[in-house]
Chain A
């Protein structure tokens, strides 16, 4: 049973992650009064891209080709470590949260370096913004995870998220609530969503993530799109696993609750994207640091329960 459920965690992500993108797009379309693409559209896009050829810039080197491959591989490996709420991941050990951060860091670094490999000013701009915001997000993420570790008194992600149940919420609601708010900010920044980055803008000058991958095409682009979907799923598990404290002894039930929660998160993201404008670049650091401060407050609140 434990084995099956632990395989369920990465498998569900592998299959369902592109669906999150579809849900976000559907919500945005409905609010804008459009029908919107069908929910399988992201899967179709991936299949189409996998069959396409590629154009490589003559400026680029092996690093450009390593970027998409490594960023997808790190997201896949992270899928083995991040738990689906109360359902433990196949791999867990003390300090695994540091390893997950390390995997994300590797993926991001290679994406940034691959972007800079093209020598394009647009991609340089996107890379510059990416590293700026990532540097500020990292402490916020660590603070949020630290508060979870301190509240649950557990040293690994799977055991800490396993301990977040209704009883813990009623005992430490302010701490967990603030942490959830921080994780939402981290979620929006790390996944390059509004109000930080607009994934649908038509102007290279204003983009972050999309502009970094301008020169990737075909299979590479499919890897990047799938990796981005997995990142939506992975960071979503960190947030939803905290907010949905369904901890029955049945892993299928627990897992289903978190997956439903992920769909809900995608709708929230769609709602945010429909109702908010992108922030000015200069104001984004304030948002991220503000998110970090919430987690710091959460930690201080958690010190004296």
Chain B
């Protein structure tokens, strides 16, 4: 626990030092980068030992805060979430210094490092906090720090709008958490998490109320549909390493909160599982369909985060159903799949956001239609991005497949063992996950190919260059981690035993037995994939031998004999997605602006399409307009006369006094 506290203190100290060194940007960046990596390394140590050893670290320190206690607890569940928080953050810091280098001297970088470090420290504190007040306090810091990071380019109006959208969305969620914690504290007499089980026992109806409040409150952080509206606004405009942290790591604190609450509320009701599966299916399908229609790479990635949160929810939903129906097999596999996907998504989504940053760095745009052919210009970044794409699509033998395998098997198994309602839930999960993974393959084939393959569509894309060693290094490490978890799946599953035992409330022995079986299946599957890879290598060599005899030549791409193809003849990203966006038009409502080709000798024509967020347009915009109209009626209160304001204060104090005395 000492190391954890030193890490937190180190992060804050690094942030302050980097902010103080803002006049010397080069030095400030070095301090920020080095300090953050060092502190994150220190923080990783207790997380790794707890996860591997299965123990728990606890600290209960005196705290002068009214109603709260400084209670920290790192058990295997918390440790599992701390792993990406510290690990990805360290890589984000490594990358960030390189990414921000061209801003040195133009824009003050001190605040970026300060708020980045505050964000990392607060995420770690959220996961370690074992007291409602401490949790909310950390949650609030974690909510506000990214606001300043999102608003990095605050001279642009869309960036400011995105930052405000984020701030409002996150606070709407926090409001529900306040209600939840105060309801529990009222019953349990304290904000400490240890009092929650007793409070629920005393008032069982609280369990379901708290669960729903948590789903709304935590879900707006995690990006459940329809509370996802801030993701596609905030993630694209932040600096890429910040997007990576927010999208890969920060939104998972919502998942953490939900799983932690489930460990405290006793046995779940069966309908909780259905709610999670329903939300997961909706988030997953909406997320991937919206992602498919985006023309901006980072916006696409933001929507895909929503999709992956959906996949995590499907796993957790099966797990909760297993706990509710006393089916330990399903409980273990569902939670294992969901929790592993949390880690996996942290890895490949950060990799992809860092990759998007590399693209922006090299070609100065993220508009898919202006890119192309980058793989030849950025071979390393391109290969790393390809690994990320393959992992997020769930291709064998990478890490995305492992978590999706666990979830799919947890959906198939109740059919084989004959659990009635679990079987129906299982089929729902199967169909949804099948559709999601198919659409994700379409989405990321499109994203990767339009950016990295073919020929450059614009001059800046043609002039792109490889990124520096810091950015490349961070992406390389993440890509290796994706491969390692994929090929080392059985070991990864073994590491999940302790966290799953905490999450399900089952004994270590039960969980270990189930996950051992799953690790065995995965080991056989990996063997088959290894055979496939070996075969591929053999075929590659065979082809080389055969071609050495017959000869190889290089020509232009076949164009039906047309000899002067231009890059503009390539299939565009929006054309590629058209069959699917057409199919899902009821969800997308794609806006098309078109000045088509009319006369036999046509003049210049124009076509543009964009997919606005359905929920933003149809749900939140009318809602906020309504709230605004309502609030306008109260405007007479705001007189601007200072005497009146003092009167308000006096009246409020009097009312409070009377209520306290009476």
Residues in chain A near residue B416, CB distance under 8 A? 149-150, 152-155
Q: Is A252 an interface residue (CB 8 A)?
A: no
**By the criterion CB–CB under 8 Å, are B532 and A149 in contact?**
no
Complexed CA–CA distance, A146 and B394 (Å): 20
Q: Is B588 an interface residue (CB 8 A)?
A: no
Number of chain B residues close to chain A: CB under 8 A: 87
Q: Is A134 an interface residue (CB 8 A)?
A: yes
**By the criterion CB–CB under 8 Å, are B550 and A77 in contact?**
no
Complexed CA–CA distance, A99 and B528 (Å): 9
Residues in chain B near residue A77, CB distance under 8 A? 528-529, 531-532, 535
**By the criterion CB–CB under 8 Å, are A98 and B409 in contact?**
yes
Q: Is B587 an interface residue (CB 8 A)?
A: no
**By the criterion CB–CB under 8 Å, are A138 and B557 in contact?**
no
Q: Is B556 an interface residue (CB 8 A)?
A: yes
For the complex, would chain A's binding face be called helix, strand, loop or mixed by DSSP majority? helix
Residues in chain A near residue B546, CB distance under 8 A? 50-51, 218-219
* Interface-lining segment among A100-108, A171-179, A237-245, A268-276: A100-108
Give B418's nearest chain A residue, CB to CB.
Answer: A153
**By the criterion CB–CB under 8 Å, are B453 and A56 in contact?**
no
8 A Cβ contacts from B515-543 to A: 517, 520-521, 524-525, 527-529, 531-533, 535-536, 539-540, 542-543
**By the criterion CB–CB under 8 Å, are A204 and B560 in contact?**
yes
Give A137's nearest chain B residue, CB to CB.
Answer: B438
Q: Is A132 an interface residue (CB 8 A)?
A: yes
Q: Is A57 an interface residue (CB 8 A)?
A: yes
Residues in chain A near residue B554, CB distance under 8 A? 55-58
* Interface-lining segment among B16-24, B476-484, B572-580: B572-580
Q: Is A33 an interface residue (CB 8 A)?
A: no
Complexed CA–CA distance, A18 and B620 (Å): 57
**By the criterion CB–CB under 8 Å, are A94 and B528 in contact?**
no
8 A Cβ contacts from B353-384 to A: 372-373, 375-376
* Interface-lining segment among A19-27, A34-42, A120-128, A193-201: A120-128
Complexed CA–CA distance, A96 and B409 (Å): 9
Q: Is B559 an interface residue (CB 8 A)?
A: yes
Q: Is B313 an interface residue (CB 8 A)?
A: no
Given the interface contacts A109-B393, A113-B449, A132-B583, does A143 sit within 8 Å of B427 by beta carbon? yes
Given the interface contacts A118-B454, A119-B454, does A58 sit within 8 Å of B438 by beta carbon? no
**By the criterion CB–CB under 8 Å, are B570 and A121 in contact?**
yes
**By the criterion CB–CB under 8 Å, are B372 and A136 in contact?**
no
Mask of A266-297 contacts with B, CB within 8 angstroms, 1/0 = 00000000000000011001000000100010
Q: Is A262 an interface residue (CB 8 A)?
A: no
Give B543's nearest chain A residue, CB to CB.
Answer: A219
Residues in chain A near residue B555, CB distance under 8 A? 55-58
Q: Is A257 an interface residue (CB 8 A)?
A: no
Given the interface contacts A91-B527, A109-B441, does A214 sit within 8 Å of B558 by beta carbon? yes
A77 → chain B closest CB, angstroms? 4
Complexed CA–CA distance, A28 and B394 (Å): 39
Mask of B395-410 contacts with A, CB within 8 angstroms, 1/0 = 1100001001100110
Complexed CA–CA distance, A70 and B583 (Å): 30
**By the criterion CB–CB under 8 Å, are A63 and B386 in contact?**
yes
Given the interface contacts A73-B535, A119-B455, does A61 sit within 8 Å of B550 by beta carbon? no
Complexed CA–CA distance, A128 and B443 (Å): 10
Residues in chain A near residue B577, CB distance under 8 A? 128
**By the criterion CB–CB under 8 Å, are A76 and B532 in contact?**
yes
Residues in chain B near residue A282, CB distance under 8 A? 582
Residues in chain A near residue B426, CB distance under 8 A? 146
Residues in chain B near residue A142, CB distance under 8 A? 408, 430-431, 433-434
A240 → chain B closest CB, angstroms? 22
Partner of A112, one of B420, B445, B531: B445
8 A Cβ contacts from B425-474 to A: 426-427, 430-435, 437-439, 441-442, 445-446, 448-449, 453-455
Q: Is A191 an interface residue (CB 8 A)?
A: no
A136 → chain B closest CB, angstroms? 7
**By the criterion CB–CB under 8 Å, are B556 and A57 in contact?**
yes
Partner of A285, one of B386, B430, B571, B583: B583
Partner of A120, one of B524, B558, B578: B558
Give B577's nearest chain A residue, CB to CB.
Answer: A128
Q: Is B552 an interface residue (CB 8 A)?
A: yes
**By the criterion CB–CB under 8 Å, are A139 and B431 in contact?**
yes
Number of chain A residues close to chain B: CB under 8 A: 86
Residues in chain B near residue A136, CB distance under 8 A? 435, 438
Given the interface contacts A93-B524, A106-B396, A109-B441, does A128 sit within 8 Å of B575 by beta carbon? yes
Complexed CA–CA distance, A153 and B525 (Å): 21
**By the criterion CB–CB under 8 Å, are A119 and B557 in contact?**
yes
Q: Is B638 an interface residue (CB 8 A)?
A: no
**By the criterion CB–CB under 8 Å, are A99 and B396 in contact?**
yes
8 A Cβ contacts from A127-162 to B: 127-129, 131-132, 134-139, 141-143, 145-146, 149-150, 152-155
Residues in chain B near residue A70, CB distance under 8 A? 532, 536
Residues in chain B near residue A119, CB distance under 8 A? 372-373, 453-455, 557, 567, 570
Given the interface contacts A74-B532, A99-B525, does A135 sit within 8 Å of B571 by beta carbon? no
Give B582's nearest chain A residue, CB to CB.
Answer: A282
Q: Is B413 an interface residue (CB 8 A)?
A: yes
Residues in chain B near residue A141, CB distance under 8 A? 434
**By the criterion CB–CB under 8 Å, are B521 and A93 in contact?**
yes
Residues in chain B near residue A121, CB distance under 8 A? 569-571
**By the criterion CB–CB under 8 Å, are A53 and B550 in contact?**
yes
Q: Is A246 an interface residue (CB 8 A)?
A: no
Complexed CA–CA distance, A56 and B431 (Å): 39
Residues in chain B near residue A137, CB distance under 8 A? 438
Partner of A61, one of B376, B412, B527: B376
Residues in chain B near residue A106, CB distance under 8 A? 395-396, 532
Residues in chain B near residue A120, CB distance under 8 A? 557-559, 570
Q: Is A80 an interface residue (CB 8 A)?
A: yes
Residues in chain B near residue A123, CB distance under 8 A? 571
**By the criterion CB–CB under 8 Å, are A57 and B557 in contact?**
yes
Residues in chain A near residue B525, CB distance under 8 A? 93, 95-96, 98-99, 102
Residues in chain B near residue A118, CB distance under 8 A? 454, 557-558
Q: Is A44 an interface residue (CB 8 A)?
A: no
Given the interface contacts A120-B557, A218-B550, does A134 sit within 8 Å of B441 by beta carbon? yes
Complexed CA–CA distance, A113 and B448 (Å): 8
Q: B residues within 8 Å of A by Cβ? A: 372-373, 375-376, 386, 390, 393-396, 401, 404-405, 408-409, 412-413, 415-418, 420, 423-424, 426-427, 430-435, 437-439, 441-442, 445-446, 448-449, 453-455, 517, 520-521, 524-525, 527-529, 531-533, 535-536, 539-540, 542-543, 546-547, 549-560, 567, 569-571, 575-580, 582-583
Told that A53-B553, A95-B409 touch, could you supply 7 new A-B pairs with CB distance under 8 A?
A105-B441, A109-B393, A118-B558, A155-B416, A204-B560, A215-B557, A219-B547
Report the 7 A-B pairs with minimum CB-CB distance, sorted nearest first.
A124-B571, A135-B438, A119-B454, A116-B449, A77-B532, A53-B550, A131-B442
What are 19 A-B pairs with beta-carbon distances under 8 A?
Answer: A54-B547, A55-B555, A56-B554, A57-B557, A58-B555, A61-B453, A63-B386, A80-B528, A81-B528, A91-B524, A95-B409, A98-B404, A99-B528, A118-B454, A119-B373, A124-B576, A131-B438, A150-B423, A285-B583
